[in-house]
Amino acid sequence: MLRFIIRRLLSYLGMLYVATSVAYLLASVSLDPRSNYMQMRPQPPESSVDKSLSFANINDKVGLLERYWTWLQNVVLHWNWGRSPRGAPVNDELWHRAAVSFKLVIVATVLAAVIGIGVGVASAIRKYRTFDRVSNAVSVFFLVVPTFVLALMVVLVTLWVQGGLNVRPFFVTGLGSGGLLDTIRHLALPTLVLTLVGYVTYHLTQRTYLLDTINADYVRTARAKGLPKNLAIRRHALRPSAIPTAMTAAISLTTTITGAVFVEQIFAIHGAGWYFIDALNRNDINGVVGVAFLGGVATCVGLMLADVVVAIIDPRIRI
C-alpha cells in the first residue's frame, strides 16, 4: 500500500506542477498589472511603475520565461509566492484565506458525502417507492439551482424566519470573532448551502451504481442461497458500487471549492474564493496563481483519498 501511495503521490505532484505553471503563464498573458497604475490620476512616472512591477516580478517589459523562472525559483527554494502589484506579500494573504476556506469546505464535504451516500443507498434499496421518488426530486432540484441562487434563498428565508420569531441564532455575514459557538453560528448557513450543493453527486452516483450491482449475478446467487436482501446488499453489492462513488468524491471536492467562491461572496466570508475574485479585479498575477495552486492541491488530495479508498475496497487496483 505504501508503494502504491508513493507512486500516486509522485504522479499528482507532477500534474500539480504542470497545472500551476500553465496557470502562471495564462495569468501573465491575460492580466495587466500596469493598467492599475495607468488609471491613477495623476499617473506616476513610468520609471516608478517599472520599479514597482519589477519588485513584484510582474513587469511586462521583462521576458515571460525569465519571469517564470524567477517565480519558480522563489516558490521551490523559498516557498515565496510573490507579491501583489502594490508590493504586498502574497503569502501573508493566501494561507490565511486558505485556512478560512478550509473551515468552510471541509465540514460541508464530509456532511455531503455522508448524507449523499446514505440517501443513495436508501433510495436504491427502495427503488421506485415514495422515498426514492421524493429524494430524487429533491436532488434534481438542488442540482439545477445555481449555487448563488441557493445561497440567496437561504439568506432570505433565514432573515424572514429570524425576523418573525425575533431571534437570531444564525448570522448571514462574516466568520465572527468569538469562540467556537460564535464560529458555528456564522458558518452554519454557508455550510448548509455547500452541503446541499455537494450531496447531490454522491446521492445520484451511489444510487445508480448500487442498482447495477444489486442485479449482478453474484448478488442474485447470494439471494438464491437464502441470504436476506439487505444483508446481500451490504456484503456483496455495496463495496463494488462504492468504487465509482469514491472516484466521484475528488470531482465533488473541486465542485465544492468552486461553489465556495459564490458562497463566500454572498456571506461576506473573506476566504480563498473571495481573495481570488479580488486578485482578478486587481490584476494580481501571483495572487491568482496562488489560489489556482490551492485548487489544484484540493483536487490532488481528493484524488489521493479516492485512490486509497478504492485500493482498500478492491486490492487489485494496487496492481
- 223-270 pLDDT, tens per residue? 788 878 777 777 777 777 777 777 776 666 666 665 578 888 888 888
> CA torsion, points 286, 290, 293, 295, in degrees to nearest 10?
-130
Query: How many Å apart are CA 290 and CA 95, to the nearest integer?
Result: 9
So what's the pLDDT on residue 318? Answer: 58
So what's the pLDDT on residue 250? Answer: 64
DSSP structure class, residue 89: B
The sign of the CA dihedral 310, 311, 316, 319 is positive
Q: Which of 40-44, 119-123, 126-130, 258-262 has the lowest mean pLDDT?
A: 258-262
**In the predicted model, what is the mean pLDDT of the chain?**
86
On the question of pLDDT at 82 being above 80, the answer is: yes
Q: How many CB atoms lie within 10 A of CB 77?
A: 8
Query: How many Å apart are CA 69 and CA 49, to the nearest integer?
Result: 22
On the question of pLDDT at 319 being above 60, the answer is: no
Q: How many CB atoms lie within 10 A of CB 157?
A: 11
Greater confidence, 217 or 134? 134
Greater confidence, 299 or 73? 73
- Give yes or no for a cis peptide into 85 (omega within 30° of 0): no
CATH domain 84-318 topology: MetI-like fold (1.10.3720)
Q: What is the mean pLDDT of residues 183-203?
A: 89
Q: Which three cell numbers stand for residue 110?
A: 464530509
Q: How many CB atoms lie within 10 A of CB 225?
A: 8
Query: How many Å apart are CA 250 and CA 304, to the nearest integer?
Result: 8
Query: How many Å apart are CA 118 and CA 238, to the nearest integer?
Result: 11
Helix ranges, the chain (H): 2-30, 34-38, 46-55, 64-78, 90-125, 130-144, 147-165, 180-214, 217-224, 229-232, 238-266, 272-281, 285-313
Q: Domain spans of the chain? A: 84-318
